[in-house]
Structure 1
């Protein structure tokens, strides 16, 4: 099984009336201290606060849903997206998140009326609890990243962005489990270079590409609640090994600096995972060629304001 452009086109037709077209902000040369201009795709303004509602709607609209409804394991954003889409379509939803999920994300899930289950120290623990629930109830699984309907739905982000900004040379995408970058690389393959960006302490895809296949990795990063997959999926790996240009790693300090700079220079309240792609430019993990037209996806905004204020207050942006 794989995902192709036709799958993303079909997903686009299913979800486009259910989602927001999120804006693109053109940042001129000199912004964020960079010599190049940057196109920021602001998916943090999407329903439920992240791009993940695209994959959630595509799965719900393309699958038969049993009476038990749907179940999802999540670091937070996927759970909020599934809860939002399920409420919109009148489907029962059970969401399983680890104790590391941020209060802002837990509050989102609560607000959409899903049954929320909090437990375990990592995403993998939530996934195990979710699997037990599905076995007991027959609920439909909506995987956060390693499923064709999820990947095709996330790929609509690239289709929309290309309509808005058709002249990009490269896009930088933060990677957790890899569903978003798999979909975007599928849509843009052969036309736009797609580069993955991961925290050095949570690098499931980068490690898999180096090892020749998915392997378990440690998860220790400021962005673990959204980019904290212990292992990238098999489907994600096959797609990215074929269609991704390459991936780079950034340290947590660079992520915090990017998060602070997004706020102080553009008043964008991004969560750490959403600042990770910009961090690659700020710290030099990715260095554009002269004249290269670069896009950066700001993928989520489910951040507690107290946490953001603390980050900005540390002076990370100076």
Structure 2
């Protein structure tokens, strides 16, 4: 995948997604206040960056299908339900039994049929493949599709217009679609850094093994960044453009989310706070004159958690 693919995705999605704003501020860190730019992607339609990739994939697929199927534990299913409704298509989301009720309710709100299958995302995915074949439906994937990754990469193109200079860009990693898309958009002009829970380091494990491998994390990491394996597409782009991984603890992610609410009244899900956790925990220490970009990538959480 190249920058040209991301630019094509942007043209294709014109008028369909929000150009989310940025917010320049400073945040607490072990060494004192750190200036940052927050990319408020949690304000995207559906409360998730994944809407971009799903829109691009469905618009690219053309008018040949009126039914889509996706396996998801959360945000990809919300995105598919929302986009399918916007484009007049029906949507079925296959979710594992552990899928958060808040996210399932959001899928229903956009008119999706929700099927529970299996205890894990992998089991739900296998059923989705079979179900799509039976129905003759278009099967989408939340991060392992080139069109989905290209759509997510439009975040990077927006940042080029919104932020001066070429600061590092930090974003959470689950299946790797967001960091891969931004790296394809930005190339080696800017450093893209993936932030992962220590218990579920899909990117780091793949870089170490030189291939995607399954990782099994504790419940918090699994709930917030549900993928247990990075995609081949994301790993290829990460190696090509030198995307690196930083690991943070679950406690640091929780603390960053609480900080965002307490200081700015910004409410995000756990994955949305992971990038900020890298700065606040000291896992990432900016250069003295640097203002890194922190992508807040999702807002689908139960307000009662704070």
- Could you state the TM-score of these two structures normalised by the residue count of structure 2? 0.95
Shift of 1:214: 0.8
Structure 1: give runs of 5+ residues left out of the alignment.
Answer: 310-318
2:290 partner SS:
coil
The structural deviation recorded for 1:282 is 0.9
Shift of 1:225: 2.9
**1:300 correspondence with 2:298:** yes
Cα offsets for 1:109-147 (capped at 9, x unmatched)? 000001111232222122112111112112111111011
Q: Distance in 2 between matches of 1:17 and 1:33?
A: 42
Query: Hey, what does 1:312 align to over in structure 2?
Result: none
Go from structure 1 to structure 2 and tell me whether the alpha carbon gap of 1:58 and 1:226 turns closer, same or farther (over 3 Å shift): farther
- Match 2:289 to one of 291, 295, 304: 291
Conserved in 2, the CA contact under 8 Å of 1:269 and 1:301? yes
Q: In structure 2, do the counterparts of structure 1 residues 90 and 29 end up closer, same or farther at CA, with 3 Å as the change threshold?
A: closer
Question: Is 2:156 the counterpart of 1:158?
Answer: yes
Please give the alpha-carbon distance, in whole angstroms, between the structure 2 residues aligned to 1:97 and 1:30: 37
Match of 1:61 in 2: 59
| Structure 1 equivalent of residue 232 of structure 2 | 234
Please, which of 23, 26, 30 is the counterpart of residue 25 of structure 1?
23
Secondary structure of 1:94's match?
strand
Deviation at 1:28, TM superposition (A): 3.1
Q: 1:77-226 to 2 correspondence within 5 Å?
A: 77-226=75-224
CA contact (8 A) 2:27 2:280 kept: no
Question: Is the contact made by 1:76 and 1:226 (CA closer than 8 Å) also made in structure 2?
Answer: no
Farther off after superposition, 10-19 or 95-104: 95-104
Q: Would you say the 8 A contact 2:66–2:88 is kept in 1?
A: no
1:116 match: secondary structure:
strand
Q: Match for residue 74 of structure 2?
A: 76
SS at match of 1:28: strand
| Deviation, structure 1 residue 221 | 4.1
User: What is the match of residue 5 of structure 2?
Assistant: 7
RMSD: 1.7
Please, what TM-score do these two structures have when normalized by structure 1? 0.92
Deviations 1:168-213 (A, max 9, x none): 4101010000011110011112211111001111111110001111
Q: Find the aligned partners of 1:7 and 1:93 in 2 and give their Cα distance.
A: 26
Is residue 124–residue 229 contact of structure 1 (8 Å, CA) maintained in 2?
Answer: no
After superposition, give the CA deviation of every residue in 1:217-271 in whole Å (9 maximum; x if it has no partner).
1132414234121211111111111113311111100000001001001101010
How many corresponding residue pairs? 306
Runs of 4+ in 1 over 6 A off after TM superposition: none
Q: CA deviation at 1:21?
A: 1.6
